[in-house]
Amino acid sequence: MNRRDFIKSFLSLISLSLLGKTGSDYSLAARAENQSFNLKIPARNKWLSSLGNGSNYFGFLAIGDMGTGWATEYELIKLMALNSPQYFPSVILLGDLIYPSAKANLIEPNLIKPFSPLLDKGHRFYPILGNHDNLESKGKYIKEYFEIPEYYTFSLGPVQFWALNSNELNAQQMNWLNLSAQKSQAKWKIALLHHSPYSSGSVHKNNNHMIKTLCPSLKKYNFDLCLSGHNHLYERIGMVPEAGNCRFIVSGGGSASLHKFEQKVYFDRQAVNSCHHYLRIWGNQTQMAVEAVNLQGKVFDQAILRKA
């Protein structure tokens, strides 16, 4: 997305609102151009605890369940690389980075080679572990390659992220999450995990363990958004009683074979699409724009989250 398209797209999103409030920041895109993010290409994509910290603007791309090495993975990444690293300096990988399991010899063909258009442009990568990644020594080779711990937190401008390992969402990890979320002064809070707490996908439905374990913390510490994958589809879910104001987006359509939807749902399902796609998310202190982009490069779902 070039500067003109970015501004046009942002202004068109201003009219959308999930909370029904009005108001906008028309200078956001212009200011974004002047941000100085740390775009130095890391030797091995080492994650940083903060990027663009202190600035008002943030922007990132996200994709889940992509690590097949198939044409769909290459095509989506090619589309993702059309977005400027200046506006979207970070790429979040929502798990299942390598199919069928994250063996050391599959990192190059299933991950590094397909992602080279984004790696070459200097985007910063923040991966989380999926169930397929976990099959091989609990994600050892992915953790080594990206130099990430099992779970971690990082900030992009006014947003703090908690990159969780949903393969083992145990008491130790939850204590860490609770303590660090309690201390957080971030304007926005986003949880990242592979297994979706909620979904009406026909293969993986609601995950009661996640709902019971994670949702009370999302509610207590005022999380705004939870991004997950595992279900090979797109699903935007509104508020659910267990999670307070936190909204959920399931984005597992990164390349692997698509899943269908169940007709019956027990939560506020706002948008669904069983298609290959990636996410483009950006905003400032008071609003966050979400766009889902399909294999044709078309935006098929848009939403804005707002806060005072």
- In the complex, the smallest distance separating the C-beta of residue 32 from Fe ion, rounded to whole angstroms, is 33
Minimum distance, C-beta of residue 68 to Fe ion, in the bound complex (Å): 12
Beta carbon of residue 261, minimum distance to Fe ion (angstroms, whole number): 17
Is 130 a binding residue for Fe ion by CB under 5 A? The answer is yes
Cis peptide before 100 (omega within 30 of 0): yes
How many residues bind Fe ion, per CB under 5 A? Answer: 4
Shortest distance (Å) from residue 222 CB to Fe ion: 28
Reported as half-sphere exposure (CB side, CA atoms, 13 A), residue 245 has a value of 13
By the rule CB under 5 A, 114 interacts with Fe ion = no
Binders of Fe ion in range 212-231 (CB under 5 A): 230
- CA-nearest of 136, 184, 190, 143 to 163 is 190
- Taking CA 14 as the corner, what is the angle to CA 13 and CA 17, rounded to the nearest 5 degrees? 90
CB-based contact 103:141 (threshold 8 Å): yes
- Report CA torsion sign: 179, 240, 292, 231: positive
Give the range of 3-11, 123-131, 150-158, 299-307 binding Fe ion by CB under 5 A: 123-131
Nearer to Fe ion, 121 or 230 (CB): 230
Residue nearest to Fe ion (CB): 230
Among the listed residues 59, 77, 52, the one whose alpha carbon sits nearest the alpha carbon of residue 13 = 59
Place of tokens 């046009």: 8
Encoding tokens for residue 110?
């299933």
Q: How far is the CB of 169 from Fe ion (least distance, A)?
A: 14
- Please tell me whether residue 232 binds Fe ion under the rule CB under 5 A: no
The β-bridge partners of 280 are 61, 291
Under the binding rule (CB under 5 A), the answer on residue 131 touching Fe ion is yes
Which residue among 96, 133, 291, 301 contacts Fe ion (CB under 5 A)? 96
Binding site for Fe ion (CB under 5 A): 96, 130-131, 230
